[in-house]
Amino acid sequence: MLSVFKREFNSYFHSAIGFVFLSVFCFFSGLFFYLYCLASLNADLTPVFSAMFTISLMVIPLLTMKLLSEDKRQKTDQLLLTSPVSLFSLVVGKYLAALAVYGLAILINVLFGIVLSAFTTPEWMVIIGNLLGSFFMGAAFIAIGLFISSLTESQLIAAILTFAVSFILILLDGVTAFFSSTALNKVVEWLSFNNRYYPFTIGVIDYSAIVFFLSVAAVFLFLTIRVLDKKRWS
Amino acid sequence: MIEVKNLSKRYGKNYAVEDISFSVKEGEILGFLGPNGAGKSTTMNMLTGYISATSGSASVAGIDVLENPIEAKKHIGYLPELPPLYLDMTVKDYLDFAYSLKKVSLPKRAHIQEICGLVKIEDVYGRLIGNLSKGYRQRVGVAQALLGNPDVLILDEPTVGLDPKQIIEIRNLIKHLGKGHTVILSSHILTEVQAVCERVVVINNGHIVADGTPDDLSTAMTADHKLIIRVAGPSEDVYKMLSKLPHLVEITRNGQKEPGVFEYSIETEAGTDIRKEIFNRLSDRHWPLMAMRTNDLTLEDVFLQLTGEKQMGGRR
């Protein structure tokens, strides 16, 4: 698992993808930090984090698009699948590599706390809560992206499909207004990543949300393993 | 060392490989010969656990590939048709990665260095694989297969796309490797298999059509009744005379090859040898025979012979 992780993590920085991801992420969080905090003389990081929800969903497909699709296209999966390694460690190794790059990106927020502490005492609990929230939300979404990447040979198709899922997740909160049935609304609200993510942005660590995100991650990792296994058996 | 029993792979209604069985003894170099699409790669992919078999079983070093894939894979070094290389890595990083992926327990630096020396890639060790030539990439692929010194090496068309010098180098390397490993090598080139392998399995349309030593195969394939000759003499007259040869099936003129020397392809009935006859008749007329050789068989001819079918009339 460690070898797969290391290779995958390094490959983000052999190509431009890792740097593009980090710079886009830092640019937007920096921009929001400037607009919401520095320019408006506000020490509350909550609006920055809620805005980053959308940005995270938009850039995570960059991280996940090539994870498995590229191996299929380049036939390097023949090396991976004929080595004495379990599918579990292959998939989880790749997953953790993407998660680690994402983790690096959200660490930028600690910097904002440090900047704020020059002017006032920042609410560290809100920052920690946000970091956890972003992390678990990302963990769930990266698993979805990894799963989509296992379905196709093309990075582009993987990226587009993952974007589509991002949009659905972003728009999900808006559609509740259109449904008259309360049952349907319940389902949509239950599925909504944003509803689960929101408490973190105000510093509430919601365990049920953590369990939700981790379950989503586990389900999609499991499905990814099944996809790879099915390919062998078909 | 390798046991394949009634192995089949079906895609939808079509069998890519149907009910094949063979075994390979320890230290043997087995050639897997067949045209493109015959099922060579499919068989190899099943042996290495990349795809599963629809039915049948395969075992390597006594371990069933389907039941205990991880243990079985430890005994196999596999070079697929397209070397599975990460183009964004250097040779060093790639081999380090494959080393840890395969959980090799030999001393790392010494082992990798030894392999690099064996396949002669030391001078590109620090370069990106994406910038290497086809020949070097192929050798990095072989190096990858050799990591961990596996008992069994499975090489899928290892010489495809290489220049003649590299082909000879790779063949010599495989012969050398055959001393310490059990090797399965696939190819669609007859001479290659003959040059390298101790035993040959011929596969066509997913079925095994022959299994034997290269000598067996070549006796099955000698074709004295298909000749190409060059004669210094008037083309029309020579052609007329040759057309009257006994047992003749077909004769074609290949045109002028040297000043005043014309080439003819002659095919007679199978089992007849008319070389003496040709020589005698030409010398009677004082038309010097400049060259005579048996026509090289195409792989199709070999398959037709091996499957016992009648020769087609047409020439290649």
In tens, the pLDDT along A68-87 reads 999 999 889 999 999 999 99
- The pLDDT assigned to B13 comes to 85
Closest chain B residue to the Cα of A76, Cα to Cα? B84
Cα angle: A178, vertex A181, A182; to 5 degrees: 105
What whole-number distance in Å separates Cα of residue A203 and Cα of residue A123? 9
- pLDDT one-digit tens code per residue, A116-125: 888 888 888 8
Write the CB contacts of A167 (distance below 8 Å, at least 6 apart in sequence). Answer: none
Closest chain B residue to the Cα of A73, Cα to Cα? B84
Show contacts of A36-39: CB within 8 Å, 24+ apart: A37/A112, A37/A116
Measured between CB atoms, does A76 come within 8 Å of chain B?
yes
Cβ neighbours, 10 Å, residue B67 = 10
Q: What is the pTM of this model?
A: 0.82
Chain B residues inside the 8 Å CB shell of A80: 84, 101
What whole-number distance in Å separates Cα of residue A63 and Cα of residue A162? 10
DSSP for B9-63, please give it: EEETTEEEEEEEEEEE-TT-EEEEE--TTSSHHHHHHHHTTSS--SEEEEEETTE
- Count of domains in chain A? 1
- Count of domains in chain B? 2
Q: If you search the block for the tokens 């047409």, which residue do you land on?
A: B314
- The pLDDT assigned to A144 comes to 95
A180 has a pLDDT exceeding 80:
no
- The pLDDT assigned to A157 comes to 94
* Confidence bin at A181 (pLDDT 50/70/90): confident
Least confident of A102-106, A202-206, B148-152, B306-310: B306-310
- The pLDDT assigned to A167 comes to 87
Q: What is the mean pLDDT of each run of 10 residues along chain B (316 residues)?
A: 89 88 90 85 90 88 88 92 91 93 89 90 91 90 91 90 84 87 87 84 85 73 73 88 84 86 85 82 89 71 60 37
Are B80 and B131 part of one and the same domain? yes
Please answer whether residues B85 and B131 qualify as being in contact, where contact means their C-beta atoms are separated by less than 8 angstroms.
Answer: no
- Helix spans in chain A (H): 2-14, 17-32, 46-64, 69-74, 77-81, 87-106, 108-117, 124-151, 155-175, 182-191, 193-201, 207-233
A48 has a pLDDT exceeding 90:
no
Chain B closest CA to A81's CA: distance in Å? Answer: 6
Chain A closest CA to B212's CA: distance in Å? Answer: 29
Highest mean pLDDT among A97-106, A186-195, B66-75, B191-200: A97-106
Are B164 and B29 part of one and the same domain? yes
Question: For residue B247, what is the domain's CATH number?
Answer: 3.30.70.260
- From edge to edge, which strands make up the β-sheet containing B207-212? B76-79, B152-156, B182-187, B29-33, B199-204, B207-212
- The pLDDT assigned to B312 comes to 40
Question: For residue B146, what is the domain's CATH number?
Answer: 3.40.50.300
Are B74 and B98 part of one and the same domain? yes
Are B105 and B254 part of one and the same domain? no
Are B206 and B246 part of one and the same domain? no
